[in-house]
A and B are shown apart, each in its own frame.
Chain A
Amino acid sequence: MSKRMTLFTAWCALLVVLSAVSSWFAWTPFSDEERPSSSSSGYYRGPTHK
């Protein structure tokens, strides 16, 4: 296995471990607590089609 391949495999393994840790602690970078609530002003509702 080439050095580049070894490093990339290690990178993939690191991401798998990080994913497992984040799942265990129920952490996500994009949860819906972050979304603006209905009381927030300036949030447009309606179609964005046109």
Chain B
Amino acid sequence: MTGARAVTCPSCGGSIEIRAVGYTVTLACRYCGSLLDVANEDVRLITAYRRAAKNFAIMPGARGTLFDVEWEVIGALRRRSGDAVWQEFLLFNPYSGYRWLVAADGEWQFGTMLLDRPEEDGRSVSWRGQHYVLDDNAEIETVMVIGEFYWRAARGDKVQGATFANGREQLSRETSADEVTWTQLIPITAEWVSEAFTVEQRHMPRPPRPDLTEGFRKAPGVAEGDLGNMFLVALAALLLILAVQVLLSGPQVCADGRATVDVGGATTIHRIGTVEVRRPWQFVTITVDSDSFTNRWVDLDYSLVNRQTQQSVDAYGLVEFYTGTDSDGPWSEGSHQAETLFSRVPRGTYDVFVDVGAHGWPSDPVPGTVDPQNPWGHTDTVALWFRSCTGGFSWGMFWLMAALLFSVPGLIFWWRHQD
């Protein structure tokens, strides 16, 4: 190898060895990470840092033989583009010059800078009779620097990087404000690299986690800008609202009651339980289940009567179920269950009353009459089972929030696709 030169870091005082003397322009101190200008005899501090960049798979100073040439790792970069992070190692041999070793997604590439420029043709390039197609084109940022470099390397450097592929072989084009550089990248096995250098596997760049939302983000109109993220944030907020509403509705205390009412008869009042509201304000939910009637509706006028003040909170519920046949065939409508939500019920103990009236459709049967088709049957009645509980879930509020959350990204999506 070439004769090395030792310099003293003006920032931390550490002694550092320059391996590619005469070629190296920038040196990142291995002790404090400060960037030094070593192009001249006098070492000049470019940028002072307090902590050296570490956690590279191969540290500068390591030597190994690849392609029958002994290389010394003199510099290392950690770079990123979007979510992808990888490491690049600058190899040096005084007779063969510089090469690159790139570790990305658990795979290795060996890079050689091109001296002859490929011929560009839109989204493809040609080089020495081979055709390479554009694979990726994105901004690349250098996030960590250690060791020495033949150019002004620094954290925060940004270049536009394009990759052209021909099978597993790639050509990389990096465009900065000053220059355009081309590098040929060929894959080499991890075993080969491990035989040549001591590789810290725990510091190898990890492949990015699979993005489960990728399909969603790439849907038409969503991939543009941050619209996909807006939909995801709205969804996350809606789930949070769901959790908050459930958590803040309690505690739940229930009482059960039962009532039977004649169809077409006078309304009757029933006490169906007692509930205690223990918070300053709380929802009260009454659910009702009925027997299997048809073509009937049951009006349910509920009253929560405060035992202490005798003030009542009233609400209305309805159970209805109809069947029939028309030109389209048989149909049914309604349900034998219903739920009634009271809001802003103040703290206190409440007796729950319900005024029940059952009716027939299209007309009420005469009370007390017997069905001629079923002369041994009972009088036409409807049986109801009630459950009154403190707490409740406001679906109205939930859907209102959902509309407000999704209206913004929804409007943007609609605006983009109105044509």
Partners in one complex: yes
List residues of chain B with CB within 8 A of the CB of A8. 230, 233-234, 408-409
With contacts A23-B249, A26-B281, A26-B345 taken as known, whether A16 is within 8 angstroms of B315 at the C-beta atoms is: no
Could you tell me the distance between the alpha carbons of A39 and B299 in the complex, rounded to whole angstroms? 9
Whether B361 lies near A4 (C-beta < 8 A) is: no
Residue of chain A at shortest CB distance from B332: A49
With contacts A8-B230, A32-B315 taken as known, whether A22 is within 8 angstroms of B397 at the C-beta atoms is: yes
Could you tell me the distance between the alpha carbons of A17 and B281 in the complex, rounded to whole angstroms? 17
Could you tell me the distance between the alpha carbons of A20 and B341 in the complex, rounded to whole angstroms? 18
Residue of chain B at shortest CB distance from A7: B408
Whether A47 lies near B334 (C-beta < 8 A) is: yes
B244 contacts partner chain A, Cβ-Cβ < 8 Å: yes
Q: How large is the interface on B (under 10, 10 to 19, 20 to 34, 35 or more residues)?
A: 35 or more
**401-419 of chain B: CB within 8 A of chain A:** 401, 404-405, 408-409
Among B147-155, B258-266, B319-327, the one that faces the other chain is B319-327
B371 contacts partner chain A, Cβ-Cβ < 8 Å: no
Whether A32 lies near B341 (C-beta < 8 A) is: yes
Residue of chain B at shortest CB distance from A24: B248
Whether B297 lies near A16 (C-beta < 8 A) is: no
Q: How large is the interface on A (under 10, 10 to 19, 20 to 34, 35 or more residues)?
A: 35 or more
List residues of chain A with CB within 8 A of the CB of B408. 8, 11
Whether B241 lies near A25 (C-beta < 8 A) is: no
* Distance of A9 from chain B, by nearest CB (Å): 6
Encode contact with A along B256-286: 1 for CB under 8 Å, 0 otherwise. Answer: 0000000000010000000000011111000
With contacts A20-B244, A28-B341 taken as known, whether A46 is within 8 angstroms of B400 at the C-beta atoms is: no
Q: Which of A2, A16, A29 contacts B400 (CB 8 A)?
A: A29
With contacts A5-B226, A16-B240 taken as known, whether A45 is within 8 angstroms of B316 at the C-beta atoms is: no
With contacts A38-B357, A47-B361 taken as known, whether A33 is within 8 angstroms of B244 at the C-beta atoms is: no
Could you tell me the distance between the alpha carbons of A32 and B409 in the complex, rounded to whole angstroms? 31
Whether B244 lies near A31 (C-beta < 8 A) is: no
Could you tell me the distance between the alpha carbons of A16 and B316 in the complex, rounded to whole angstroms? 29
Whether A19 lies near B401 (C-beta < 8 A) is: yes
Whether B394 lies near A49 (C-beta < 8 A) is: no
List residues of chain A with CB within 8 A of the CB of B279. 26
List residues of chain B with CB within 8 A of the CB of A22. 394, 397
A36 contacts partner chain B, Cβ-Cβ < 8 Å: yes
List residues of chain A with CB within 8 A of the CB of B317. 32
* Distance of A44 from chain B, by nearest CB (Å): 10
* Distance of B146 from chain A, by nearest CB (Å): 30
29 A-B contacts, Cβ less than 8 Å apart? A5-B226, A5-B229, A8-B230, A8-B234, A15-B405, A19-B244, A22-B394, A22-B397, A23-B244, A23-B397, A25-B280, A25-B344, A26-B281, A26-B345, A27-B281, A27-B343, A28-B394, A30-B397, A31-B394, A32-B315, A33-B314, A38-B300, A39-B301, A45-B320, A46-B297, A47-B322, A49-B333, A50-B324, A50-B326
Given contacts A23-B244, A31-B342, 10 further A-B contacts (CB under 8 A): A15-B241, A20-B248, A23-B245, A28-B283, A28-B394, A32-B341, A46-B322, A47-B322, A47-B333, A49-B333
